[in-house]
Amino acid sequence: MARRRLVFGLGIGALVAVLVVAVLSVAVANAYTSSSTFCANCHEMATRYVSWSRSGHEQVACMDCHAGVGVGGYLKAKVGGVRQVIQHYFGDVENIVAHVEDPVCLKCHYFSKDPQFSHDPQLLGDPIFTPTKLHRAHFGDEESTCTTCHQGMVHGSLKTGDAPMRRAVCEQCHARKKIYVELDL
C-alpha cells in the first residue's frame, strides 16, 4: 500500500515540519520586532531610543508602553508598526507621534485613579504607587491624562532622557479652565 501524500506531494511528517518551522519563524520575528533594539534600527527612532535609554524608564521595553493594554492594544501596535516600516521604506515618513494611554501608565504607577480606592498603607510615600496631592487633584478631570503633565517623561531630553514638568503646560490648562490657584510645582 502506497503512503498517502498530502498537499504538493508532502508526507505528514514533512507537513508537520513545515508547520513547526512556520510557527517558530513567526514567534522569533514577533519577539525581535517587539524588542527595543528593533525600534532603534530606523533613523526616525534614533533620538527617541537614546532619550529612552537615558531616562528612568530604560528598563521598560518600548512595547510595554506603546502596545497599549491587552491583546487588542498589542495587535493595534503591531499593525501600526507594519505601517511605519512601510512608510520608512517608501520614503513617506511623517513625524512619529505615539500617545500612551493612562491604563498603560497605571499598570506600573498607582493602582487606580479612583479617588475612593484604598491604597496599601505600606506603600505610602512611594511615588510609584501612592498618588501625590497633585495627582489626586487631577484624577477626576477627564481632560487631564498622565501625559498631559508628564509629556516627555521618557523621550524628553537627549542628555538625561527625562523632561521636567513644564509650568507653562499647567498655566495654559488652568487659564483655559479659569482655575486660579497658586501653582506649587
Q: What cell does 88 get?
A: 520608512
Domains of the chain: 34-177 (1.10.3820.10)
Tell me, what amino acid is at 57?
Answer: H
Segment 96-114, tens digit of pLDDT: 677 888 888 888 776 555 5
Segment 73-97, tens digit of pLDDT: 889 988 888 888 888 788 766 666 7
DSSP string, 70-115: HHHHHHHHHHHHHHHHHHHHTT----------HHHHTTTS-S-S-T
Q: How far apart are CA 166 and CA 65, in angstroms?
A: 22
Q: Which residue has 498589542 as its cell numbers?
A: 74
pTM of this structure = 0.67
Is the separation of the CB atoms in 67 and 74 below 8 Å? yes
